[in-house]
Chain A
Amino acid sequence: MATIYVDNKPYVVNEGRNLLQVCLSLGFNLPYFCWHPALGSVGACRQCAVKQFKDEKDKRGKIVMACMTPAAEGVRIAVDDEEARQFRETVIEWLMANHPHDCPVCDEGGECHLQDMTVMTGHNYRKYRFPKRTYQNQYLGPFINHEMNRCIQCYRCVRFYQDYAGGQDLGVFAAHDRVYFGRHKDGVLENEFSGNLVELCPTGVFTDKTLKGHYTRAWDLQTAPSVCVHCGVGCNTTPGERYGLLRRIHNRFNHDVNGYFLCDRGRYGYEFVNGERRVRTPLLKRDGALGPVTRAEALTEIGKVLSGPAVLLGIGSPRASIESNFALRELVGPDRFYDGVSARERQLLSAMLSTLRAPGVHSPSLREVGEADAVFVLGENLAEVAPMIALQVRQAVYRSTVPMGERLGIPAWHDSAIREAIQGRHGPLYLATVTGDKLADVATRSWCAAPDDLARLGFAVAHCIDPTAPSVSDLSEELPGLAKEIAGALRSAQRPLIVSGPSCGSLAVVQAAANVAISLSAAGAQHAALCYDAPECNSFGPALLDGHGLDEALQAAKSGSVYAAIVLENDLYRRADRAAVDAFLEGAEQVVVIDHTVHDTTKRADVVLPAATFAEGDGTLVNNEGRAQRFVQVFKAQGDVQESWRWLGELSRTAPSNGAWQNLDHICTRIAETAPALGEIARVAPAATARFLAQRIPRQAHRYSGRTAIGAHVNVHEPALPEDPDSPMAFSMEGFPSTCSSALTSAYWAPGWNSVQALNKFQAEVGGPLRVGNAGVRLWEVAEGHDHKYFEVIPPAFQSREKEHLAVPLHHIFGSEELSVLSPSVAERAPASYVAVNFRDAEALQITDGENVQLVLDGIPYRLPVRILPDLPSGVVGLPSGLPEMSWVKLPGWGKIVKEVPA
């Protein structure tokens, strides 16, 4: 700690920070642009000027940049100093000389840091009366709009894009008063995190293009705290709605999870909520065709079967909430509740789950991933399957070099000097994946191999770390050296991290990663961590509810028994073989599907009930680290749309069963009583009855407009506010805008701070955790003791076959996930299907890039264009995973490539 003097008052502050950080943390309104809590300082904008004095006798002082000056013991500064104030005002005046006066038509208006800082410095009148500098804007793809005239040259965009996210196709061009931030040529911004520019740019240069398509001012958005549903990381989000349309997704800060950022799948996948494929009313099949019916008709129809002789099978879903899965389990009984994932995935998920819950294995939060000082990635192309984990691994390898700079006397926050000092060096990162990875540019070593060989490397690393771990016989040439090197790097690290997961479909890979983690803990590593990514937003949910395997349910078709099925938010055709699903659905007395979106399974249903999406309902999701997080209803959907757990509650009341819950708290209490693994679920967010100063928390900003006019074309009387039985939030601008619970805060605002940077005011220290703590509850913490039970089954080395190739899934951030790809902007970025082959195999097969071939898998031929992927191991071909046109292919599996003979 250090004592510094600000405006002649002493303050005790954290040493090792800069003056801007401490002034903001102390609550001073000091304007800034280029500094960002996650990006550090460069001193580019000259906005954060304060006056520094030598000692108490020094009356003249000198202007310094707060963000570039250490908060050392005894430092004396003045924020409230006429000359410093003038300086800050003048800086804004210079910026304003070229900044267009176009706030009324600027998408940033109303949540603009430049507006806030301009007002803060008191620069109220423009003196400059001459033409302004103008630029051509660029086309940057479906996500981002570009309006360069508004730029104030703070350099945040390129620093984030290049230095933080590793992007290479956004740069700064030209010099002096004509610097330009954009691409070499018009074109799609390729980096997976480009959407963050929208929140990082303090002006309206980079804005959300999808929001522009249905634009609403920030203050007119109704928001609620939410959780991303597009992968298992569970980033916290703030969706915004108006007039029944979901309009955008913004980041919601969670220091333990996603911090300030989101990936582009998470930010832009939301438009499925507004999509044409939504189910909006109950549907009933009559004469072979589904048509809309009233809810009473639909429920009566289902009721007939519920009270009939058919055995009721409930198929849950990893993309439905805990509550909905549980409600289904209550309705059908634990014996007939199935987890709704493919047999292979079930096997992988349960291996992951049991490892993560075993003693001695620490499952790190996303923040901890970014703090590791040696990383070994086994099997996962992280940027494609769990993008935010990739972003944090990138930070980890950068951060582990910061001590190098600190040894030279450079403080950690001095980003430009640290980067200069380390000259592109990075901490140990080892990538072992099936195909080339986007983190390769910062990897110490990258190695591509077939899944079995990846697993063998992992097992070998574990054995190098702890000789009692099973050893791998006859490793091929390069492997023993590589395994030793990785083991050495992990052993000598303070916070070694292994990242793995289910994406290459190999149980051996998941187990090998577990062995590495166990070996580290056996070797006495205190802070070793094992991070498994999970494919879907609630992948662990059904497993924590002890769901049975989907394949068992599908067997019912063969058993000759009389059964009916309720399918919860799940397209079974993405989970299992088409013929087996067909037989199962055909054999059922009745098929009820509760979902929000039409897909192949809803088309085969007898009754479809319209489910709420994450934006229209409440629920809890368990992420990849085992953190339970609540998403709160953002808006009431029109018509009969409601949470699946509500539908299931209604069904239980018509049936002779006991699940008579009325609201979220009822069902959470019941879950806590019945499912021991989920005992903490009620603690995830305050109960619906909680009040803050006797009031509810408003979902709308105090500036929300048009409340009395919004429905005036229908009725001039203001309608009653919708009730919210499930959370303490109100669909209103009235109430106490409390930030008492981060689980119930979706937007931050403070007087003078209308942009996302208002968050500063709610952190104990800027950049650090929220004062009220971070949202979410971890369902398990690492238990004491070591679990020395190693996985013993080591696969033999991969053998390529003469006439066949091993087909493995290749994942795509845009395209592989079921819901986000329904967003037009994401769909635009999705690849067309293909079969990937490496050079040598292509040569041997006499096929070339782009040529159509037949790939025969399990007897089914797929006609696909060839894509040459140089990194793919020989004997292995890759197929894009989850693309709509090839939704279920059993992978990995052996297939045969047949060259097409021209007719």
Chain B
Amino acid sequence: MLTEEIKHEIEAEAERFERKQAACIEALRIVQMHRRWVDDESVRDIASVLDMSPDEVDSVATFYNLIYRHPVGRHVIRVCASVSCWLLGYERLLDHLIQRLGIAVGETTADGRFTLLLNQCLGACDHAPALMIDQDQYQDLDVANVEAVLEHYQ
């Protein structure tokens, strides 16, 4: 069930558009903001608020890599795995993170602190390798300096 608060936020968004279906992405973002991820029930609830079918909402939800349809940890690490970062050795960085966190890509640490994901190009090619944690971007990373970055996120 969507809380009244979430529902109101979605309805407010929907009013800005000629057809309320256009607010679908925003609705997903709102739910995720409150709950960290979007579960099946929320997909169905959004659908009923916006007069869509769950299938239509889910098509949108699963298309965007920033909408999570699985539970994630308190912080999401997205390691860039595209060309520049590959040239400059993101794989070493990634291996280190996998070791350090004890999880594979796509998994969440047992304490719920981190989820580890890959991303294609973060637009920081001139400072590769790069990664993002939540809303923050970090550049020119290596095994040595990544530890300090993680420390900011408890």
A interacts with B: yes
- Check if B62 is an interface residue, CB within 8 A of chain A: yes
* B55 & A175 in contact (Cβ 8 Å cutoff): no
Q: Give complex CA distance A423, B65 in Å.
A: 26
* B53 & A173 in contact (Cβ 8 Å cutoff): no
Q: Decide: A173 near B19, CB < 8 A? Known: A183-B55, A184-B43.
A: no
Q: Give complex CA distance A175, B53 in Å.
A: 19
One of A49-57, A163-171, A738-746, A785-793 at the interface:
A163-171
Count, chain A residues at interface, CB 8 A: 14
Point out the residues of chain A lying under 8 angstroms from B43, CB to CB. 184
* A171 & B58 in contact (Cβ 8 Å cutoff): yes
Q: Give complex CA distance A185, B43 in Å.
A: 11
Point out the residues of chain A lying under 8 angstroms from B154, CB to CB. none
B113 nearest CB across to chain A (Å):
27
* A168 & B55 in contact (Cβ 8 Å cutoff): yes
A241 nearest CB across to chain B (Å):
36
Point out the residues of chain B lying under 8 angstroms from A183, CB to CB. 55
Please, which residue of chain B has its CB at the minimum distance from the CB of A182? Answer: B55
Query: Which label, helix, strand, loop or mixed, suits the secondary structure of the A interface?
Result: loop
Which chain B residues numbered 94 to 126 have a C-beta less than 8 Å away from chain A? none
* B54 & A184 in contact (Cβ 8 Å cutoff): yes
* B62 & A173 in contact (Cβ 8 Å cutoff): yes
- Check if A408 is an interface residue, CB within 8 A of chain B: no
- Check if A174 is an interface residue, CB within 8 A of chain B: yes
Point out the residues of chain A lying under 8 angstroms from B57, CB to CB. 184
Which chain B residues numbered 50 to 68 have a C-beta less than 8 Å away from chain A? 52-59, 62-65
Which chain A residues numbered 153 to 192 have a C-beta less than 8 Å away from chain B? 168-175, 180, 183-185
* A174 & B62 in contact (Cβ 8 Å cutoff): yes
B28 nearest CB across to chain A (Å):
14
Point out the residues of chain B lying under 8 angstroms from A174, CB to CB. 62-63
Q: Give complex CA distance A174, B58 in Å.
A: 9
Count, chain B residues at interface, CB 8 A: 15
- Check if B40 is an interface residue, CB within 8 A of chain A: yes
Which chain B residues numbered 14 to 36 have a C-beta less than 8 Å away from chain A? 19
A180-213 contact mask (Cβ, 8 Å, vs B): 1 or 0: 1001110000000000000000000000000000
* A171 & B56 in contact (Cβ 8 Å cutoff): yes
- Check if A424 is an interface residue, CB within 8 A of chain B: yes
Q: Give complex CA distance A173, B19 in Å.
A: 22
Point out the residues of chain B lying under 8 angstroms from A171, CB to CB. 53, 55-56, 58-59
* B65 & A173 in contact (Cβ 8 Å cutoff): no
Please, which residue of chain B has its CB at the minimum distance from the CB of A170? Answer: B55
* B19 & A424 in contact (Cβ 8 Å cutoff): yes
Point out the residues of chain B lying under 8 angstroms from A168, CB to CB. 52-53, 55-56
Please, which residue of chain A has its CB at the minimum distance from the CB of B65? Answer: A175
Q: Give complex CA distance A185, B40 in Å.
A: 9
B58-101 contact mask (Cβ, 8 Å, vs A): 1 or 0: 11001111000000000000000000000000000000000000
Point out the residues of chain A lying under 8 angstroms from B65, CB to CB. 175
Please, which residue of chain A has its CB at the minimum distance from the CB of B61? Answer: A173
* A173 & B40 in contact (Cβ 8 Å cutoff): no
Q: Give complex CA distance A183, B64 in Å.
A: 18
Partner of A184, one of B19, B58, B64: B58
Point out the residues of chain A lying under 8 angstroms from B56, CB to CB. 168, 171
Point out the residues of chain B lying under 8 angstroms from A423, CB to CB. 19
Partner of A169, one of B55, B62, B63, B64: B55
* A169 & B53 in contact (Cβ 8 Å cutoff): yes
Point out the residues of chain B lying under 8 angstroms from A185, CB to CB. 40, 54
Q: Give complex CA distance A171, B52 in Å.
A: 12
Point out the residues of chain B lying under 8 angstroms from A169, CB to CB. 53, 55
Point out the residues of chain B lying under 8 angstroms from A424, CB to CB. 19
Q: Give complex CA distance A451, B52 in Å.
A: 31
* B55 & A184 in contact (Cβ 8 Å cutoff): yes
Q: Give complex CA distance A37, B54 in Å.
A: 30
Q: Give complex CA distance A169, B56 in Å.
A: 8
* B59 & A175 in contact (Cβ 8 Å cutoff): no
Q: Decide: A175 near B40, CB < 8 A? Known: A169-B53, A184-B54, A424-B19.
A: no
B143 nearest CB across to chain A (Å):
29
B11 nearest CB across to chain A (Å):
20
Point out the residues of chain B lying under 8 angstroms from A170, CB to CB. 55
Max chain B C-beta neighbours (<10 A), residue from A169, A184, A185: A184
Point out the residues of chain A lying under 8 angstroms from B53, CB to CB. 168-169, 171, 184
Point out the residues of chain A lying under 8 angstroms from B63, CB to CB. 173-175
Q: Give complex CA distance A424, B21 in Å.
A: 11
A416 nearest CB across to chain B (Å):
16
B41 nearest CB across to chain A (Å):
11
Q: Give complex CA distance A171, B56 in Å.
A: 6
Please, which residue of chain B has its CB at the minimum distance from the CB of A161? Answer: B55
A186 nearest CB across to chain B (Å):
12
Which chain A residues numbered 380 to 437 have a C-beta less than 8 Å away from chain B? 423-424
Point out the residues of chain A lying under 8 angstroms from B58, CB to CB. 171, 173, 184
Point out the residues of chain A lying under 8 angstroms from B54, CB to CB. 184-185
Point out the residues of chain A lying under 8 angstroms from B64, CB to CB. 175
Which chain A residues numbered 810 to 831 have a C-beta less than 8 Å away from chain B? none
Partner of A172, one of B19, B40, B52, B59: B59
A165 nearest CB across to chain B (Å):
14
Q: Give complex CA distance A185, B53 in Å.
A: 12
Please, which residue of chain B has its CB at the minimum distance from the CB of A424? Answer: B19
Please, which residue of chain A has its CB at the minimum distance from the CB of B54? Answer: A184
Point out the residues of chain B lying under 8 angstroms from A175, CB to CB. 62-65
A132 nearest CB across to chain B (Å):
20
Which chain A residues numbered 841 to 898 have a C-beta less than 8 Å away from chain B? none
Please, which residue of chain B has its CB at the minimum distance from the CB of A441? Answer: B51
Q: Give complex CA distance A191, B62 in Å.
A: 23
Q: Give complex CA distance A321, B65 in Å.
A: 59
Please, which residue of chain B has its CB at the minimum distance from the CB of A169? Answer: B55
B56 nearest CB across to chain A (Å):
6
Q: Give complex CA distance A838, B110 in Å.
A: 52
Please, which residue of chain A has its CB at the minimum distance from the CB of B40? Answer: A185
Point out the residues of chain A lying under 8 angstroms from B59, CB to CB. 171-173
Q: Give complex CA distance A174, B62 in Å.
A: 4
Point out the residues of chain A lying under 8 angstroms from B62, CB to CB. 173-175, 180
Which chain B residues numbered 130 to 146 have a C-beta less than 8 Å away from chain A? none
Q: Give complex CA distance A423, B22 in Å.
A: 11
Max chain A C-beta neighbours (<10 A), residue from B58, B59, B63: B59
A497 nearest CB across to chain B (Å):
27
Point out the residues of chain B lying under 8 angstroms from A184, CB to CB. 40, 43, 53-55, 57-58
A135 nearest CB across to chain B (Å):
13
Please, which residue of chain A has its CB at the minimum distance from the CB of B18? Answer: A423
Q: Give complex CA distance A724, B145 in Å.
A: 86
A859 nearest CB across to chain B (Å):
43
Q: Give complex CA distance A548, B48 in Å.
A: 53
Which chain A residues numbered 36 to 76 have a C-beta less than 8 Å away from chain B? none
Please, which residue of chain B has its CB at the minimum distance from the CB of A180? Answer: B62
Known: A169-B55, A184-B58. 18 other contacts (CB 8 A): A168-B53, A168-B56, A169-B53, A171-B55, A171-B59, A172-B59, A173-B58, A173-B62, A175-B63, A183-B55, A184-B40, A184-B43, A184-B53, A184-B55, A184-B57, A185-B40, A423-B19, A424-B19
25 A-B contacts (beta carbon < 8 Å) = A168-B52, A168-B53, A168-B55, A168-B56, A169-B53, A169-B55, A170-B55, A171-B53, A171-B55, A171-B58, A172-B59, A173-B59, A173-B62, A174-B62, A175-B63, A175-B64, A175-B65, A184-B40, A184-B53, A184-B57, A184-B58, A185-B40, A185-B54, A423-B19, A424-B19
Closest 5 CB pairs of A and B: A168-B53, A171-B59, A171-B55, A173-B62, A184-B55
- Give me the interface of B with A, judged by CB distance under 8 Å: 19, 40, 43, 52-59, 62-65
